[in-house]
């Protein structure tokens, strides 16, 4: 297959589910799909609704427009943990400083179809020590915003498990807190369960070397589990290396059902119900 070619569509799910986290604005694949094409391809396999995440200024503004155009979409907005330090240091290509950038996000978050503050959190993989203080400050600002507006918090945690958990504990997590693309082990999954957090699993749970993630999933209650693509990244097995899109959710959902020892239908129903509980109807 050509490197940018879109994988074949998997068999449709019997019960519809929500893609809990996707980026439809990132160009991907040969002949990038427009939003309507993404939504149609997703609906054809039973992915009837999506949460579109815009985590830098342009993308957040775009997200707030798209949720008005497409009833299948809800949105999330934030300054990504790798963006916030650039705004804070005055080195962001937009020339916008941190305070102004955050206040634009806070404004967009008031849109009735923006139901998520995220993705926000800590990323020690792509941002070095010099950006930590700005990341923590931005994370805390986003936590406060989610609580103020009673929105769901979606967390990005890359190589920063202990500090993310610590900030949440110290500031008090919003009532509905989701770890997007959960990447912790079984011990962390148990701790998240005790604290009432939700875990959203993406393509890596399907990877051949994803044993630790499957072990984490195995100790998580079904009603705390969500599924996402994080498209166009993290394409599930057996299509690693190809571009990712919401229509590939069934591949990840089936692995989740398998690991939890429930039927595909039961897993889909639970994910849909949890999505409705978290985000409200749309």
Report, in Å, the least distance between residue 158 CB and Zn ion.
11
In the bound state with Zn ion, the residue whose beta carbon lies nearer, of 157 and 230, is 230
Report, in Å, the least distance between residue 118 CB and Zn ion.
8
Q: Distance between CA atoms of 128 and 150, rounded to whole angstroms?
A: 31
In the bound state with Zn ion, the residue whose beta carbon lies nearer, of 230 and 264, is 230
Q: Which residue is nearest to Zn ion (CB)?
A: 230
Q: Which of residues 86-145 bind Zn ion (CB under 5 A)?
A: none
Report, in Å, the least distance between residue 21 CB and Zn ion.
6
Q: Which of residues 198-257 bind Zn ion (CB under 5 A)?
A: 230
* Interior angle at CA 275, CA 271 and CA 278, nearest 5: 140
Q: Distance between CA atoms of 218 and 37, rounded to whole angstroms?
A: 34
The encoded tokens of residue 130 equal 């010099």
CA 10 to chain centroid: 21
Strands 114-123 and 152-158: parallel
Q: Check residue 157 for interaction with Zn ion (CB under 5 A).
A: no
Helix (H, G, I), strand (E, B) or coil at 48: strand
Q: Which residue has the tokens 């900030």?
A: 167
In the bound state with Zn ion, the residue whose beta carbon lies nearer, of 234 and 267, is 234
In the bound state with Zn ion, the residue whose beta carbon lies nearer, of 141 and 230, is 230
In the bound state with Zn ion, the residue whose beta carbon lies nearer, of 60 and 257, is 60
Q: Contact, 81 vs 122, CB < 8 A?
A: yes
- Site residues (vs Zn ion, CB under 5 A): 230
């Amino acid at each position: 297959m050509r490197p940018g070619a879109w994988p074949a569509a998997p068999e449709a799910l019997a019960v519809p589910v929500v893609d809990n986290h996707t980026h439809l604005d990132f160009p991907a694949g040969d002949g990038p799909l427009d939003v309507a094409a993404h939504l149609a391809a997703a609906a054809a396999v039973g992915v009837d609704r999506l949460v579109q995440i815009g985590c830098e200024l342009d993308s957040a503004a775009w997200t707030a427009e798209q949720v008005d155009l497409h009833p299948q979409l809800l949105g999330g907005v934030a300054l990504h943990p790798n963006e916030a330090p650039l705004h804070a240091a005055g080195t962001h290509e937009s020339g916008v400083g941190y305070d102004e950038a955050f206040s634009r996000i806070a404004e967009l978050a008031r849109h009735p179809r923006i139901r998520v503050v995220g993705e926000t959190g800590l990323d020690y993989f792509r941002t070095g020590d010099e950006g930590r203080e700005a990341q923590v400050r931005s994370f805390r600002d986003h936590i406060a915003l989610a609580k103020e507006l009673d929105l769901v918090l979606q967390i990005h945690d890359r190589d920063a498990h202990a500090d993310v958990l610590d900030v949440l504990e110290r500031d008090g997590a919003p009532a509905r807190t989701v770890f997007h693309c959960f990447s912790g082990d079984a011990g962390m999954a148990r701790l998240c369960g005790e604290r009432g957090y939700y875990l959203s699993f993406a393509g890596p749970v399907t990877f051949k070397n994803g044993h630790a993630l499957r072990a984490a999933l195995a100790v998580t209650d079904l009603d705390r589990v969500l599924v996402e693509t994080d498209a166009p990244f993290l394409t599930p097995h057996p299509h690693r290396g190809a571009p990712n899109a919401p229509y590939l959710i069934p591949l990840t959902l089936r692995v989740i059902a398998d690991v939890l020892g429930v039927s595909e239908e039961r897993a889909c129903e639970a994910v849909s119900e949890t999505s409705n509980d978290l985000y409200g109807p749309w």
